[in-house]
Amino acid sequence: MGWGNIYKRRMKVCTVALMIYLDYKALQQREKWISKTKGATLWESAHERNAKRVLSLIIELEGLWVKLGQYLSTRADVLPEAYISLLKQLQDSLPPRPLEEVCRTIQKEFGKSMDELFLDFVKVPLATASIAQVHRATLLNGQEVVVKVQHEGIKTIILEDLKNAKSIVDWIAWAEPQFNFNPMIDEWCKESPKELDFNHEAENTRTVSKNLGCKTKCDDNTRADRVDVLIPEVIQSTEKVIISEFMDGIRLNDIESLEAFGVDKQKVIEEITRAYAHQIYIDGFFNGDPHPGNFLVSKEPPHRPVLLDFGLTKKLSSSFKKALAKMFLASAEGDHVALLSAFAEMGLKLRLDIPEQAMEITSVFFRSTTPAKESHETMKSLADQRTKNMKVIQDKMQLNKKEVKRFNPVDAFPGDIVIFARVLNLLRGLSSTMNVRIVYQDIMRPFAESVLQGNINRGPMVNDQWVYDTPAHSDVEAKLRQLLVEMGKNNKILGVQVCAYKDGKVIIDTAAGVLGRYDPRPVQLDSLFPVFSVTKGITAGMLHWLADTGKLKLEENVANIWPEFGSNRKDRIKVHHVLNHTSGLHNALADIGRENPLLMADWEECLNRIAMSEPETEPGQEHFYHYLSYGWICGGIVEHASGRKFKEILEEAFIHPLQIEGEMYIGIPPGVESRLATLTPDTEDLKKLSGLSSRTDLPSSFQPDNIIQLASVLPALFNMLNIRRAIIPAANGHCSARALARYYAALVDGGVVPPPHSSSSKPALGSNPHIPKYPVQSSPKKQKGSRTKKVAAAFRCRTNKYEQTPQDPDQDIVSHSRNTSNDSDTGLTEVIVSPKKDNGGKLFSNPRIHDAFLGVGEYANLVKPDGNFGLGFKRYRSTDGSLTGFGHSGMGGSTGFVDIENRFAIAVTVNKMTFGAGTGRIIQFVCSELNIPVPEDYSKFAESGSDAGKPLIN
C-alpha cells in the first residue's frame, strides 16, 4: 500500500469525523429553539444519517476499522439504535472477496489444488469479516468442514491502521489528558497482529477447548463453576488458512431463527458469560473478541452456545489472574482494602486517594447488564455520577474547570487489563443486543472464588512454599517452621508471622501461610497484620515515653493535662489509673457498636465522648479491663500532654529510633493496602466460649456472650478501610511480627535499641516507604497562570515529601499533617527535617523502666495489688506465680511479650481470629526449646492446641 493510499485513508477518516462532529454540534444549537418532540425526531434522523456515514466509511476502508465497527455494534447499552442496527452488518456480512482470490490463497498455503484438498467447496461464503471470510466445504474423506481464508493484503492494512489509530490516540491524550487511551491502543497494537497468524489461532482454539472440557464433559454438571459450550475441532491450519469442524448453528443476531427454534436467549448468554468467567479467572487464557458474529447456537436441544474465532486471545499471569479475581470479589463485597490491594497487585496506580470513587467505578464496571431499551437511562445515570466524581476531584485538588478537564486520575494503567475490559464491555453489549439482563456478580463469583480459594484450601500439604523462603536464624526457627506446616495442615492457622529475640539478637524471623481467605498471596516478613489489643502495649509505651521525657507524670490528674476530661466526676482520675485499668471507665463507649460502629473511625468524636463520659467506680478501687475506652483515654492524654498528633509521637518515640518505618501503624496511611493481611474468624474456636461463665476481671459489656458476638462481627468491621485508617489506640494496630518483636526487644533491655535487623530478612526491615508515593501530574507547557502554578507546586510538595530521604545521618524526616484549611483541602502533608536526638541508642532514660511497666518497686502504689496489669502492660507470671515479664495480647490471637530475666522477646501475628490456641502452642514450643519458663497465659493450652477454658484476649 503506497503513500498515496495511506494519505487517502487518513483524509477519508478525518473528513467523515469532521462531518459528523459538525452535524451534531449544529443540532445542539438548533435544539435550543425547537420543542422536545421535534428535537427527538431530529436526533433520531441525525443518528440514522451519521450511522450510515460510519458504515459506508468502514466498508470502504475495511481492516482495523471493521474491528472498531464490530465493537461498536455490540454496545447497545451505549449507542443509539440506529448505529446498532446498521453496524451489526459488520459482524459477518461484509462484501465478499472474489472466489479467485480465496482459491489462490488456499492453494498457495497448502501447495495443492482445490481438487486435491476438497470433495466440494461452496462458492458463496458463510460469512465475511474484517480479516477473513469463511466457506463451507467437504474434505476428501467426506467430513463437513469450514475453511477460513485470510484476505490478501490485510496484514499491511491492519498494521497501517494501527499506526493511524495510535496517532489519533496520542493527539487525544495531548489535547484531553483525562481521555488518555494510550494503554489501550498499546495493548491493541501488541495483540492484534497475532490474529494474522492462523496457526496461532488454531493452537488457541485447542487450548480453550481443552480448558473448558468441551470434548470431555464430566457427569457432574451441577457445579457452580461448570461450563457447557461447544468449540469446533481444528483439523488443519497454515498462517493464512484454517480448516475446522463444521457445526450447524444459528447466529446470535438471527433473532427470528432463535425464536423459531425455541432458544432461551437468557440461558445462552448466561452460558457464554460462564465460559468467559472460566477462561479469565480459572484458566487465565481467554478469547478477546466476543462479538455476536463469533457465536452460534446449536439447533438441537439443549441449544448450547458454540464459540468461534480464537485469533485474539490473552494470557494472564497467575498473579494477575488472582488480582482480577480479588478486584471482582472486592467490588462484590464493597471491600475498599481488598480493592486497593488488587489495584496495587495488577499495577494500576492512581494519582489521588479517593477509595470511594475507586469502588464506585469498579462496581460500575461489574454492574449487571441492562436491555437496550434501558440503556439511555443507564448512561444518563453514569454521566451524572461522573460529573459528581469530577467535582470531588476538582474540590480536592483546587482545580478550575479547565484544569479538571485535563486531569487524569489514573497514573499507570496495566496493559493486561485492556483486553479484559474489552471483553466485559463486549459481553455487556451482547446482553443488551439480545435484550437480556445478566447479573455478573452471581455468574462470575464462583469462578473468582475458585481461583483464590484453590491455593488456600490445600495449604502446606501441596505447597512447599507455604513457609516464606528465608534462611533460618537458628535450629529453633527450623523446628518452628515444621510445627507451622503441621498446624497449617490441620487448619489451625491461615497466615502467621513469628519473630523472636534472645540476648539482643534475632533467633526467629518466619512468615507462613496466606494473607487471607480470598487472598492466596503468601505472607511475607513485611506483611501488616491487624493485632487488636496488642495495640494497647504500644500505646502504653507512648505514655511511658512522654513521662520519661518530662511531658507528663504518672501520678498527675488527667484533667490537669486534658481539661475537658475533668467533667462528670472524672477530675480525680490519674494517668496511672488509666494505665492500670482502674479508672472506672471500663464500659465507656461500649454502646458505640450498637449505635454506629463506624463512629470508631471518628477520632475527635470519640475523644469528645470520652471527655463527657461518667465513671462507674471510684478511681483505683476496682480493676476492670478497659477493652475499648482505654485507647481513646490514652490517645487524648498523648495529644494534650505533647501538644502534637498521636501518630507523630508514635513515629518519634518508636518508629524512627527502631528503624521500623512502614511496619508499625496505628491507623494505616494510603498506599500500604497490598501488604495487609485480612481477618477471618475461626468459627470452631468461637464455639468454645459458649459454655464459659462470666469473668470478674472483665466489664459487664465484655463478658463471654458479648465476646462471641463481637468476634463474629469484628473481622468484617476491622477489614474495612475507614476503620483500618482510623486511630483506635486500643485495637487498631497494624504491624509485622518483626517490628513488634523489635519493639519488645528494646523494652526488655530497658529501652536499648537492638542492633540492626538481620540482612537475610527480605525485604529489609524499615525499607518500605513510610508514606506512599503519589506521582506528579505533569502540566502541559501551554497552561499558564497562578492557579496552574499552585497545582504544580502542590504536586511538587507532595512528591518531594514522598521521595525525600535524609542525606545527613544526624537528621531524620518527621512528617505530619497540618490542620490548616488550605492544606487539608489539597491533601498536603508538611515535611520537617529535625535533628535526631542523641539518647545513646535508648528509648528510655529511666533505669527502673521495668518496674514502671510492671507496677512494682516504687511504682507498686500506682497499681491495684495482685492485679493482672501493671502500668499499661499485662504482667506475665510463671506457673509458680512469680513475675517473669510483660506484654499484651489481642482478641484475634496476636501477641507480644518479654521475659526479662532471660532477655527474651517474641511477637506472633495471625489473621485467623482464634482465642489463642494456635498462638499458645507456638509460644509453648519456642519457650520449651529455649528452656524459658512458659507464661501461665500460654501454658494453659495443651499440646493439642485446645483451650483450657480462658481465652487469650488481654
pLDDT in tens, 256-287: 999 999 999 999 999 999 999 999 999 999 98
Nearest 5 degrees, angle CA 351-CA 356-CA 362?
Answer: 85
33 has pLDDT over 50: yes
Residue 5's pLDDT band, with cuts at 50, 70 and 90, is: low
Average confidence (pLDDT) over 509-531: 91
119 has pLDDT over 50: yes
- The confidence score (pLDDT) of residue 818 equals 31
- The confidence score (pLDDT) of residue 779 equals 37
Average confidence (pLDDT) over 788-803: 34
Q: How far apart are CA 661 and CA 174, in angstroms?
A: 39
Which range, 418-422, 461-465, 545-549, 678-682, has the best average confidence (pLDDT)? Answer: 545-549
Average confidence (pLDDT) over 432-457: 80
Q: Which of the residue ranges 385-389, 624-628, 857-861 would you say has the lowest mean pLDDT?
A: 385-389
Please, what is the end-to-end C-alpha distance for the chain in angstroms?
A: 78
Q: How far apart are CA 368 and CA 859, in angstroms?
A: 64
Which range, 245-249, 452-456, 776-780, 881-885, has the best average confidence (pLDDT)? Answer: 245-249
The rounded percent of the chain whose pLDDT value lies above 90 is 42
Do 129 and 151 contact (CB within 8 A), yes or no? no
- The confidence score (pLDDT) of residue 803 equals 32
Cβ neighbours around 866 below 10 Å, total: 8
Residue 821's pLDDT band, with cuts at 50, 70 and 90, is: very low
- The confidence score (pLDDT) of residue 780 equals 38
Higher pLDDT, 774 or 893: 893
CB contact set of 80 (below 8 Å; sequence gap of 6+):
44, 47, 51
Average confidence (pLDDT) over 446-475: 76
- The confidence score (pLDDT) of residue 194 equals 77
**Helix residue ranges, H only, 693-817:** 704-718, 721-724, 737-748, 786-803
Q: How far apart are CA 32 and CA 742, in angstroms?
A: 71
Higher pLDDT, 420 or 951: 420
Higher pLDDT, 527 or 344: 527
Residue 693's pLDDT band, with cuts at 50, 70 and 90, is: low
Residue 188's pLDDT band, with cuts at 50, 70 and 90, is: low
Q: How far apart are CA 228 and CA 214, in angstroms?
A: 7
Q: How far apart are CA 843 and CA 579, in angstroms?
A: 19
Residue 734's pLDDT band, with cuts at 50, 70 and 90, is: very high
Higher pLDDT, 293 or 403: 293
- The confidence score (pLDDT) of residue 177 equals 62
Q: Which of the residue ranges 139-148, 298-307, 379-388 would you say has the lowest mean pLDDT?
A: 379-388
Q: Would you call 186 exposed, middle or buried from its count of C-beta atoms within 10 A (0-12, 13-18, 19+)?
A: middle
Residue 306's pLDDT band, with cuts at 50, 70 and 90, is: very high
- The confidence score (pLDDT) of residue 746 equals 97
Residue 569's pLDDT band, with cuts at 50, 70 and 90, is: very high
Residue range 656-673, pLDDT digits in tens: 999 999 999 999 998 898
Residue 225's pLDDT band, with cuts at 50, 70 and 90, is: low
Residue 465's pLDDT band, with cuts at 50, 70 and 90, is: confident
73 has pLDDT over 90: no
- The confidence score (pLDDT) of residue 241 equals 96
820 has pLDDT over 60: no
Average confidence (pLDDT) over 320-340: 87
The helix (H) or strand (E) run that includes residue 403 is helix 401-406
Q: How far apart are CA 847 and CA 277, in angstroms?
A: 64
- The confidence score (pLDDT) of residue 499 equals 97
CB contact set of 464 (below 8 Å; sequence gap of 6+):
none
Average confidence (pLDDT) over 905-922: 90
Average confidence (pLDDT) over 933-948: 65
Residue 195's pLDDT band, with cuts at 50, 70 and 90, is: confident
- The confidence score (pLDDT) of residue 726 equals 93
The helix (H) or strand (E) run that includes residue 333 is helix 318-333
Do 916 and 952 contact (CB within 8 A), yes or no? yes
CB contact set of 471 (below 8 Å; sequence gap of 6+):
760
The rounded percent of the chain whose pLDDT value lies above 70 is 77
Q: Which of the residue ranges 171-180, 542-551, 567-576 would you say has the lowest mean pLDDT?
A: 171-180
Which range, 172-176, 692-696, 912-916, has the best average confidence (pLDDT)? Answer: 912-916
What are the angstrom distances between the C-alpha of 2 and each of 8, 157, 167, 206, 401? 10, 11, 19, 38, 44
Pairing of strands 241-245, 234-237: antiparallel
Q: How far apart are CA 890 and CA 530, in angstroms?
A: 9
Q: How far apart are CA 596 and CA 125, in angstroms?
A: 67
- The confidence score (pLDDT) of residue 24 equals 80
- The confidence score (pLDDT) of residue 44 equals 85
Q: Which of the residue ranges 29-38, 394-403, 833-842 would you say has the lowest mean pLDDT?
A: 833-842
Calculate the CA 757 to chain-centre distance: 30
706 has pLDDT over 90: no
Q: Which of the residue ranges 80-89, 446-455, 683-692, 801-810 would you say has the lowest mean pLDDT?
A: 801-810
- The confidence score (pLDDT) of residue 674 equals 87
Cis peptide leading into residue 763 (ω within 30°): yes
Average confidence (pLDDT) over 710-723: 79
Residue 844 amino acid letter: F
Domains and CATH numbers, the chain: 6-91+155-190 (no CATH), 256-455 (no CATH), 475-762+841-940 (3.40.710.10)
- The confidence score (pLDDT) of residue 810 equals 36
456 has pLDDT over 60: no
Do 109 and 76 contact (CB within 8 A), yes or no? no
Residue 115's pLDDT band, with cuts at 50, 70 and 90, is: very high
| DSSP symbol at 757 | P
888 has pLDDT over 70: yes
All three cell numbers of 4: 498515496
- The confidence score (pLDDT) of residue 100 equals 95
Average confidence (pLDDT) over 780-803: 35
- The confidence score (pLDDT) of residue 834 equals 37
In the numeric block, the cell 454496545 is attached to 75
Residue range 347-373, pLDDT digits in tens: 888 777 777 777 877 877 787 776 666
Average confidence (pLDDT) over 563-580: 95
Nearest-Å Rg of the Cα atoms of the chain is: 33
Residue 950's pLDDT band, with cuts at 50, 70 and 90, is: low
Average pLDDT, the chain: 81
